[in-house]
Structure 1
Amino acid sequence: MASSKQTVEVMEEFICAICLELLNVPVILECGHNFCKSCIDRVWDSEKQPSCPECREEYTARKYALNRLLANAIKKVQCQRGEADPQQKKGDDLCREHEESLKLLCEDDVSLVCLMCVPEHRGHNFLTVQKAVNKYKDNLVTSLSQLQSKLKGYNEKKCQQEMKRSEVTANARSLQLHITSEFAKLHEFLQHKEEKLIQQLKDEEGGILKQMEENLRKIKEDINAIQISISNVQLQLQQQDELTFLKVKLYLST
């Protein structure tokens, strides 16, 4: 672990501050900073006054020296790590226009560019690939957190809706049972009331009929009495003999 960490720290010292890759044909400036020969040439080609891209020290002439010691040290480290020649690059990692490594992200155009493309994006904001990756990963982590928070909120709403649905179903069933029970009681009450009214009507009918039967009996008796009286009167009228008529009249009168 310690050896691996030391190797990483050493490798960081071998990184070009311009292209952010292992120094390729490293040259050293008078200020002591090292760069790839092609990188410092490219930077100085775009500057009127040569200067160090790292400490900004200016020079009267374009002057540097090949750092053979550093180049040998880089080769040794590469051999220990089993790395291939840094000149061997995948086509997808190169700028199609300049055939240089894509090491920057133009935030304004949202595109990967090489250092040669920078002048074409004047005034734009740039990020190194690593910083861009970290930024987008942070955005993804933020989006993931927001989505998980939304999912949690919707799951809570789902549970609440399911609970409310269960409550509505339970309340509906309880109300249905209550209605059935109340109507059963009402039916029983109405049936009892019906039977009571019918019995009351029968009782009243019986009383009225009884009274009417009594009245009818008396009427029949009166009719019989009248009929007897009529018969007597007719009998008296049938008598021809005056003396007999008077005797019958007197007899009937007593």
Structure 2
Amino acid sequence: MIWDLRNGQRSFSESAMHAIETAPADWEKGYCDLCCLLLNKAFLLECGHTFCDRCIVVLVEGNRSVSPDTVECPFCLTISPHLISRDSKTAPEPPAPSFVSCQAPNHKLVGTSSVQYFCVQTSELICTSCALSALYVGKALLTVTEAAEYFGNIIHDKTTNIRLAVAEVRKYVRKLRRQQDSLGLQLEEMIENLNNRKLEIINAVTEKFSILERILIRFTDMHRDELARETTDITQRVRSVMDAVSSSEKHAAQQDPLVFLVEAKMLISLLSQKLKALSSCTERRAAPPPLQLPQLGSTANILGAVRALEFRDLRSKGLQPSWGSKQS
């Protein structure tokens, strides 16, 4: 996937961007999405992310905030009720690295010169002959191994910052989920209260109680749907970011240094963009306050009010959403 950077239909930057944004190559599936080590026994979550036997134990033991028998994926924050085990002892090996030619503008074919250096100022991979030429006098040159280690460290720092940011986003998502659950409990309590009162005045107000119940459900669902949409949007962003993180780390850890250097700066730029996009998740508007459902009071006091209730006025009587809704 990521080695075909000189595809005639794509520029260098477009190829590198495409390599990270698309699904992992077949060889990447043989490695754990969390620790990036070769899989021996793989465990697949419902969302599609795969973990080794060591990492899955850490995930299961660390998921105390979700329901029993479920696992929260650390990449996309999806709750998975099922865990699939599969044998991955025959994981495919990375393809052989392709030949990288000298990028110096004054390069001349001299025998079988191979790329040995990376110029820090020009970001060019150059051979030994060009490194000794006047064009590179006074410029900082690193061996390909040193350059690969340098850019690998930068990518590691970027992915570490993203993981820390994801931890903050995860807290925010859990807060939204708790609000969803709270709204469900409020709805159940309110409907139970309505049903108890309805038994006492059923003959007089049966029809209006049914209408009121439907209105309560509709307005509560509107609030819950708003939270669900925001949660889904965030989880999709996080999944996209963490897929890029995992792919970048795998390439930093597994690829040939020459091939890795060709795309290293593009990976770093992409990770910076992902980190910026991720930080915007929790900079949105504050989470909405819990919905305050109407209090009915005693049966004796509400009987006349229920009979005279005009449902078109419910928005002015406490059922109006307490924060801006996209569908209001």
What is the TM-score when the length of structure 2 is the normalising length?
Answer: 0.26
Which one scores higher on RCO, CA 8 angstroms, separation ≥ 6?
A: 2
Structure of greater Rg = 1
